[in-house]
Amino acid sequence: MINITNNKTVIPMLDVKAQHEPLKEEIKQALKDILDSGQFILGPNVRSFEQETASYLNVKNAAALASGTDALYLSLKALGIKEGDEVITTPFTFIATAEAITYVNATPVFVDIDRYTLNIDVSKIEEKITAKTRAVIIVHLFGQPADMDEIMDLARKYNLKVIEDCAQAFGARYKGKAAGCIGDAGCFSFYPSKNLGAYGDGGMMITDHNEVFEKVRLLRNHGTVAPYRHGFIGYNSRLDEIQAAILRIKLRHIDEYNRKRGNLARIYTSVLSGAVQCPVEMTDRSHVYHQYTIRTPLRDKVSAALKNSNISSVVYYPLPLHLQEAFHYLGYRKGDLPESEAAADEVLSIPIYPELEPDKAEMISEAILQAVRHGDAG
């Protein structure tokens, strides 16, 4: 992906081809079986993938969908969020989290983040709750679950629905529970770069509530309650058989993928803590390191130095959502959410993916250390 090659080997942010290599014969066979069967939509692979994921995450229901964005959108819809409602979320995330809120004509209300975890600061949620607040979308940013106990307490107190945006947190755990199983609905993305990545777009909504599941299952397929009988207006948001078959194969490796990400994170943290702010791991939850994101006032110098050494790095996210032109109409100004704005100026995500060799991680760490020392000196 983010890999500019001009005869130099660049260490990319991720390497989807390397992940495919050991699986390719198995995937070829699965694709051949689907082509032979002629069944491409809502067939046995989608059903099995839903069951296998529900069982892996230990949740009652899973609905495979066309994307993570759709999972958020259809969850809001199924939970009854509508025009005039306010939905609290973080501004330090990918835009899809807040876009989904606007799709149901509700209003995103942004709450600032914690400086260390970069997840929503739960101590700042209550002051943003109004008579119109109906839900919160919690993002488990970069793979680490947010403070779900505190969030669920607030949700009970104010009667709010809780949607977990788990696009970056497949397989992460919070006090023994899988991320996505704690709120009313959990939303996953299988975009190729995610921890569990398809070979195209894909998503999923999980829930223990049977009625929410039933609603999303019908919404994804034109509200079809029986052949050519439509109970309400729905959408076309189905995962296809080919993606489901690939995801079933990859699901069997997700623990290994996440474990390898964790090993690389430990290498990075052991070399870099002290020089830059490293991801903070909370003791009661697991971090699946969708990204390994460092923080330093010397961010631009570090990223330039890495580029010079042919090492990729990306700023997730350079502009918080409340300052995006798309959300100008909400009326936020610079300075409104200072922690998110400061993070945007200082964060840098560095390569982390299961196929990255540990010695490369050591080399990358050394390059960062040098850049920080150099930057400090001048």
The answer to whether 165 and 142 have CB atoms below 8 angstroms apart is no
Closer to ligand PLP by CB, 96 or 298: give it. Answer: 96
The answer to whether 323 and 275 have CB atoms below 8 angstroms apart is no
Beta bridge partners of 208: none
Residue with tokens 């010397």: 298
Residue 67 binds ligand PLP (CB under 6 A): yes
Q: Which of 53, 90, 93, 312 binds ligand PLP (CB under 6 A)?
A: 93
How does DSSP assign 289-323, residue by residue?
A: -S-EEEE-TTHHHHHHHHHHTTB--B-S-SS-GGG
Residue 165 binds ligand PLP (CB under 6 A): yes
At residue 105's C-alpha, the angle toward residues 63 and 97, to 5°, is 50
Segment near ligand PLP (CB under 6 A); pick from 65-73, 235-243, 325-333, 368-376: 65-73
Q: Which of 12, 68, 234, 279 binds ligand PLP (CB under 6 A)?
A: 68
DSSP 238: -
Q: Which of 92, 110, 191, 327 binds ligand PLP (CB under 6 A)?
A: 191
Compute the distance between CA of residue 174 and CA of residue 283 in angstroms, rounded to an integer: 9
Closer to ligand PLP by CB, 192 or 223: give it. Answer: 192
Closer to ligand PLP by CB, 191 or 213: give it. Answer: 191
Q: Which two tokens stand for residue 347?
A: 């964060």
Closer to ligand PLP by CB, 114 or 267: give it. Answer: 114
Compute the distance between CA of residue 326 and CA of residue 312 in angstroms, rounded to an integer: 28
Q: Which two tokens stand for residue 173?
A: 């755990």
Contacts of ligand PLP in 258-287 (CB under 6 A) = none
Closer to ligand PLP by CB, 137 or 275: give it. Answer: 137
Compute the distance between CA of residue 90 and CA of residue 136 in angstroms, rounded to an integer: 9
Q: Which of 94, 174, 213, 257 binds ligand PLP (CB under 6 A)?
A: 94
Closer to ligand PLP by CB, 12 or 203: give it. Answer: 203
Give the nearest distance from C-beta 67 to ligand PLP in angstroms: 4
Closer to ligand PLP by CB, 163 or 267: give it. Answer: 163
SS3 21: helix
Cα 354 to Cα 178, 258, 316, distances in angstroms: 20, 7, 20
Residue 167 binds ligand PLP (CB under 6 A): yes
Residue 145 binds ligand PLP (CB under 6 A): no
The answer to whether 165 and 120 have CB atoms below 8 angstroms apart is no
Residue 69 binds ligand PLP (CB under 6 A): yes
Q: Which residue ranges make up the site for ligand PLP (CB under 6 A)?
A: 67-69, 93-94, 96-97, 139, 165, 167-168, 189, 191, 201, 203
